[in-house]
Amino acid sequence: MTIRFSAPAKINICLHVLRRRADGLHQIDSLVIFLDCDEWITVSKANKTELNIIGPQAAKLPVSENNLILRATRLFPPRCTSKITLHKSMPVAAGIGGGSADAAATLKAMSKVWQLPVPTVSNQLQLGADVPVCMHSKPVIMQGVGEVISSVLNFPKLFCCLVNPGVAVKTEDIFKKLIKKDNPAISILPKSEKDWYIWFNQQRNDLQQPAISTEPVIDLVLKQLKNFNPIVARMSGSGATCFALFETLEQAKQSAKMISKDFPKWWTTAGSISG
């Protein structure tokens, strides 16, 4: 039996850094949505655990023992040896939780293949702060250090364009550049679609400016996205991927097509928001 799970991109519509805790971790407040970028995991039983990486971004992610997928397998009993294939389509270190999404998909697939419970949230956090939120595939609020997840029930039906300029950004480096680490939480979620549009632009990503200071090309990406008059355009996570939200799939795809034409070395994709 081979089980396949999608590993969608994690997009931080906003990311508010509330404070730095005594243990060095940062408490955040973030609205997260997901976009299927054709990244997926397959898992089947095997005599030994092995990982094979295929797909358009495979060359940029060589297999190593520290890979989050292999680390995820170690949360299961040693008898759960598995053959795992990752179809890698998202850029590496791109601020859209690719590795965390892969780990989450692995946890779900192994749980089903071996008929065992999914590892606890505390165990998921051992893999990374984004793994618990990547266990979901619909809009949620992520709080704490990533362990507190709340559903968002009335998120509007929207479409997204993602753009990455081909630079990798280390999350820890961006947090170190964040000067103000005690910022306001996100405001109360809106109830109507019109209010959502206003709300999007009232929020922020506290890591956006530190990331731009590290990789100025991020600012160029945002300017290109804003040329298409989106509802909102912002950097996701710690960068360098940026997103734009639109009312129609045609708008999202057209923006991706035009940006790809003007900047052929950039990674672009577009689609509908999951959930």
Read off the tokens for 139.
């809009």
Same domain assignment for residues 203 and 252: yes
Range of the domain at 218: 153-272
User: Which residue among 95, 124, 144 closes a domain?
Assistant: 144
H/E segment holding residue 125? helix 121-125
Choice among 29, 102, 130, 206 that is catalytic: 130
Q: Whole-model pTM? A: 0.95
| Structural domain count of the chain | 2
Which one of 92, 111, 144 terminates a domain? 144
| Tokens standing for residue 193 | 């679609």
Q: Do both 116 and 198 map to the same domain?
A: no
What are the beta bridge partners of residue 87? 40, 54
Q: Is 10 tagged catalytic?
A: yes
For residue 130, indicate whether it is catalytic: yes
Looking at the structure, do residues 133 and 158 belong to the same domain, yes or no?
no
181 & 266 share domain: yes
CATH number reported for the structural domain that contains residue 32 in this entry: 3.30.230.10
> 53: helix, coil or strand?
strand
**Burial (CB count <10 Å: 0-12, 13-18, 19+), residue 77:** exposed
**195: domain CATH number?**
3.30.70.890
Residues 81 and 213 in one domain: no
Counting every residue written for the chain, the total comes to 275
Do 61 and 111 have their domain in common? yes
The answer to whether 211 and 174 have CB atoms below 8 angstroms apart is yes
pLDDT in tens, the chain (275 residues): 999 999 999 999 999 999 988 888 899 999 999 999 999 999 999 999 999 999 999 999 999 999 999 999 999 999 999 999 999 999 998 999 999 999 999 999 999 999 999 999 999 999 999 999 999 989 999 999 999 999 998 999 999 999 999 998 888 899 989 988 899 999 899 988 889 999 999 999 999 999 999 999 999 999 999 999 999 999 999 999 999 999 999 999 999 999 999 999 999 999 999 87
Domain boundary among 121, 144, 167: 144
Q: Which of 10, 29, 102, 206 is catalytic?
A: 10
90 in the same domain as 187: no
